[in-house]
Amino acid sequence: MWKTIYLTQEWLNNLQEELRSLKEEKRIEIAEKLKEAISFWDLSENAEYEEARNEQAQVEKRIADLEEQLKDVELIDETENHDKVTMGSQVTIESVDGGEVQSYKIVGSTEANILAETPMISNESPVGKALLGKKVGDKVKVNAPAGKFEYKVTEIV
């Protein structure tokens, strides 16, 4: 059972396009592979048939997962005011100890990507949780797997 999934409109569009592609294109492609493999007759020792069946199972599982996820989506309003950190905010923080500056966008867990141009962290991550609701100038203490950290919020976009 899935929980509510928080997504930006862009990410929702990506997931919907992936689902459409799997249903309307990939299923047809696999059906053709199965049809061709079946034409080789002996299915007991037919590697092409087994490969196509495995691919079909993976695609059907992904379709089912996407459909289930998309049942309970809440869009992140990226136009909200920037007085405090909310879902969709881009926030810049500075380490209280060393002055290291980092910027993150707060997104839902399915959209998180620390390697993006502007790293996207989950609202469920230690840093994401600590930042939600904070304002510029607020300090936050974060208990992360790598240790304890303290940051100051310097900008919210």
Residue range 91-105, pLDDT digits in tens: 999 999 877 999 999
pLDDT of residue 76: 81
SS3 83: coil
Question: Taking 70 as the threshold, does the pLDDT of residue 44 lie above it?
Answer: no
Provide the pLDDT confidence category of residue 156 given band limits of 50, 70 and 90: very high
CATH number of 90-156: 3.10.50.30
Summarize the confidence of residues 95-119 as an average pLDDT. 90
SS3 138: coil
Nearest to 102 by CA among 122, 87, 82, 120: 120
CATH number among 3.90.105.10, 3.40.640.10, 1.10.287.180, 3.40.50.2300, domain 5-75: 1.10.287.180
Provide the pLDDT confidence category of residue 26 given band limits of 50, 70 and 90: very high
- The structural domains of the chain, with segments of one domain joined by +, span 5-75, 90-156
Question: Taking 80 as the threshold, does the pLDDT of residue 80 lie above it?
Answer: no
Residue 132 token pair: 């939600």
Sequence-distant (≥ 6) Cβ neighbours of residue 7 within 8 angstroms: 15, 73, 74, 75, 76, 107, 108, 110, 111
Sequence-distant (≥ 6) Cβ neighbours of residue 56 within 8 angstroms: 30, 34
Summarize the confidence of residues 141-156 as an average pLDDT. 91
Q: How many CB atoms lie within 10 A of CB 126?
A: 17
